[in-house]
Amino acid sequence: MIIMNKKSWLVVIAAALLLFFGAQGASLRQERSNLNAQLAEEMMGNKTIEEGSSSKRIAVLTVEGTIMDHGEGSPLKEPFTYDHKGTLRAIEDLKKDNNVKGLILEVNSPGGGTFESVELYRALRSLKEEKKIPIYVSMKKMAASGGYMISMAGDKIFADTETMTGSIGVIASAYNVKDLMDKYGVKVETFKTGDHKDMLSPYRSVTDEERNMMKDLLNDSYQEFLKIVEEGRHMKEDDVKPLADGRIYSARQAKDKHLIDELGYRKDAIAALKKDYNLEGAKVYQVKPSQVNRLVHFFKRFSLGISLQKLMRGNGLSDDLQAVQTLSKQLGSPRPYYLYGGE
């Protein structure tokens, strides 16, 4: 149930009156558009950062946390910060708002899944190209790996002096419980149609051939990352590749290497966007995507934590095997990440 305050009801009444009288003329149509925009902000709980004209507005979209679609992802990830589907919906909504003249992308993320990171990057690029609006990026504490990738959609990148960024690369991890099972003499019988059908299974060791296969697989994602950085920073591959060995950079180091543009805070990015695109007097507001399935992910993480505790306590064969079974189900299949610090 949505509870509306007095201001919200006034906006609703004003919009209804305009519709009732069939607003005529360009000025009235613009006013109706402004009121509809205000109503949408009230209903979604969007926060005004700087007051100004509703006919030219700057949206602030924050990406905070691990860039994962938690509805289908791992319970190891942070469930209370980033909502992938909600963020994509918010970007689509911005496309429909003719009053939005610019976007501040605020990034505080160590990255995430390769699929989600590329999907979000492409959505931001699509917003910029379809609406022909500028995107300025404001990096907060961290904008690494996938967090750096999505920043490549920006026309100008600002980072605080304490920002950690970079980590251009791909990582994948696989859990292996073979030694634990050998300890109790437990074997898993696997029936398969090919030698590599159970590659990265937690029940057996990885072969050298499979390690090379995984390296080739990750290299495809790595090349995609390089291409995005080359396009976003207007750099040649020979200039990007030496910087793309997975290392993290301070903001000053990143600026020296042309990975960002300016040192500054969000307010500096907003001021620069206004100045560069004649948006003085524009209203600046925070877009807040809806957060979904949070309790589900909380309990997934809680259950996973219990399983790990059981393994560490070592309460005997029954508990250990039950914990292994639970972990195998919860961890799911290994997958590649654009993520700083591993999984």
Q: How many CB atoms lie within 10 A of CB 174?
A: 16
What is the distance, to the nearest Å, from the Cα of residue 261 to the centroid of all Cα atoms in its chain?
Answer: 21
Coil, helix or strand at residue 248: strand
Helix (H) or strand (E) holding 250: strand 248-250
Strand partners, 156: 136
Instruction: Check if 141 is active-site.
Output: no
Instruction: Check if 197 is active-site.
Output: yes
- Phi (first) and psi of residue 282, to 5 degrees: -75, 145
- Phi (first) and psi of residue 136, to 5 degrees: -110, 140
- The Cα 109–Cα 147 span in angstroms is 5
- Token duo for residue 18: 């305009």
- The Cα 31–Cα 305 span in angstroms is 53
Burial of 339: CB neighbours in 10 Å, binned 0-12, 13-18, 19+ = buried
Q: Which residue among the candidates 54, 74, 138, 145 is catalytic per the annotation?
A: 145
What is the distance, to the nearest Å, from the Cα of residue 52 to the centroid of all Cα atoms in its chain?
Answer: 29
Using the CB atoms, write b or e for 24-50: b if 16+ within 10 Å: eeeeeeebbbbbbbbbebbeeebeebe
Reference 63, options 129, 128, 149; nearest CA is 149
Q: Which residue among the candidates 7, 183, 192, 197 is catalytic per the annotation?
A: 197
The structure tokens 């020296």 sit at 256
- Token duo for residue 204: 């057996």
Q: How many CB atoms lie within 10 A of CB 299?
A: 12
Reference 312, options 301, 303, 323, 302; nearest CA is 323
Q: Catalytic amino acids? A: 145, 197
